[in-house]
Structure 1
């Protein structure tokens, strides 16, 4: 069975975006944080996206390695992003590119099917999609980069759940700028 990892940058008060889908609170990541996300993405055998995150990622990373001033890590991230198989879950878009498959039907049924298959870990991103997977008990690990900022509202990282979910801490690290990385595995 494949492992499903939900990871994002978030504010100290638990939001991945401030009101109006504003993600400027994170600023440019430190080299160390960017490298950590790159390593996280390289370990993923398949990336699952909700529509909003797909639109944000696909607006930059297909040509991110060709941008003036792209760092070696950004070049590597762009190449890895294009090469990694991706699945986008959306009922409002009709076309995806860059090694990507579109699923318009039942996301939970498809994620359950993908988890039951062979292969490396899968990463999932996008609050709505990940929230549905969280409520269905499909998330195996949470990878969180908490930034020292409070935004007071917006899109929460965690969704409302029907019951408690026990977690085991597997990593903690402090990075430049006061960003704290934490990884938790779900207790089964």
Structure 2
């Protein structure tokens, strides 16, 4: 069974999407990155929040559209309150977190089930299901948007010392979650 990783690119002020879920800001920070390449090779499935699944993609309309700029293909599990009535090839829609996590981990095999989306990331962190957190911190301040992690009333999620890597586009911070 796979491990669960919450991964995203965020602004230095902590936003993974801009106002109105805008992801176009990310275009300027996409580029070669050995940590991202390493991650793509380890991802066996993606656990995607409904808003992220239906939302903006910085590569929308190009051959690079999709998870990891189109560099990854595999099973996608979407956690949503409103699954579509028509099946989508390669995509499983589920309505509860436990089923979503189990399905994504099973589909990942020995790899990672990579979380895409702030709300599903928050839910998985709150449930104690996340094994690793990988954030690519882009050199930009957005000032508003969707935060990487928000838990009303606060929450303490302890992380081990990160593995750090720097490129011209971002600094990656790869943490293990303390259980």
Report the TM-score range of the alignment, normalised by the length of the smaller protein: 0.7 to 0.9
- Of Structure 1 and Structure 2, the greater helix share is in 1
Contact 1:54 1:88 in 2 (8 A): yes
- Name the counterpart of 2:100: 110
- Name the counterpart of 1:138: 129
TM-score between the two structures when normalised by the length of structure 1: 0.77
Distance (whole Å) between structure 2 residues aligned to residue 106 and residue 126 of structure 1: 15
- Name the counterpart of 2:75: 85
In structure 1, runs of 5+ residues without a counterpart are: 68-73
Offset at 1:167?
0.9
- Name the counterpart of 1:42: 41
1:155 to 141, 146, 154: 146
Q: Pick closer, same or farther for the CA change 1:79–1:85 going to 2, 3 Å.
A: same
TM-score between the two structures when normalised by the length of structure 2: 0.80
CA distances 1:40-69 after superposition (whole Å, capped 9, x unpaired): 12211111111222234889689726x9xx
Distance (whole Å) between structure 2 residues aligned to residue 22 and residue 14 of structure 1: 14
- 1:18 matched to 2:21? The reply is no
Distance (whole Å) between structure 1 residues aligned to residue 32 and residue 81 of structure 2: 36
- 1:53 matched to 2:52? The reply is yes
**How many residue pairs are counted as aligned between the two chains?**
175
- Name the counterpart of 1:31: 31
Q: Pick closer, same or farther for the CA change 1:145–1:164 going to 2, 3 Å.
A: same
Distance (whole Å) between structure 2 residues aligned to residue 109 and residue 121 of structure 1: 16
Offset at 1:85?
1.2
Indicate the RMSD between aligned Cα atoms, in angstroms.
Answer: 3.1
